[in-house]
C-alpha cells in the first residue's frame, strides 16, 4: 500500500488536500541484468487499485477499506 497527498486549488474554493491511495500485491519479476549477465529477481506491484479523495479523512478511510477488502482480511 502507498499513500500520498498534496494541496490543490479548486475553483471558487480554498486549497483542499487531495489524498491518493494505491493498494497492490507484490509478485516476483525475473529480469536479465546486462552488467552481471545473470538473471535477477525483483519485486513488482500487480493488481493495482487507486483511490483518490478531496473529502475528509473519515470518508477517505471508508473508500480505502471498501476498495481493498481482500488485503485487510489478511490482518
Asked if residue 42 is part of any domain, the answer here is yes
**pLDDT tens digits for 9-53?**
888 878 888 888 888 888 999 999 999 999 999 998 888 878 888
pLDDT for residue 72 is more than 60: no
Q: Which residue has the higher pLDDT, 29 or 58?
A: 29
**Is residue 75 assigned to a domain?**
no
Residue 5 burial by Cβ neighbours in a 10 Å radius (0-12, 13-18, 19+): middle
pLDDT at residue 5, rounded to an integer: 86
Number of domains observed in the structure of the chain: 1
Mean pLDDT of 57-66: 72
For the chain, where are the alpha helices, taking DSSP H only?
57-67, 69-73
Domain of 9, in residue numbers: 2-70
Q: Does residue 65 surpass a pLDDT of 60?
A: yes
Amino acid at each position: 500500500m502507498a499513500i500520498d497527498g498534496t494541496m490543490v486549488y479548486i475553483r471558487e474554493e480554498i486549497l483542499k488536500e487531495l489524498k491518493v491511495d494505491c493498494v497492490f500485491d507484490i509478485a516476483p519479476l525475473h529480469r536479465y541484468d546486462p552488467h552481471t549477465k545473470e538473471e535477477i529477481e525483483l519485486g513488482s506491484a500487480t493488481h493495482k487499485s487507486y483511490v483518490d479523495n478531496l473529502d475528509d479523512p473519515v470518508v477517505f478511510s471508508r473508500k480505502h477499506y471498501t476498495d481493498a477488502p481482500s488485503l485487510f482480511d489478511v490482518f
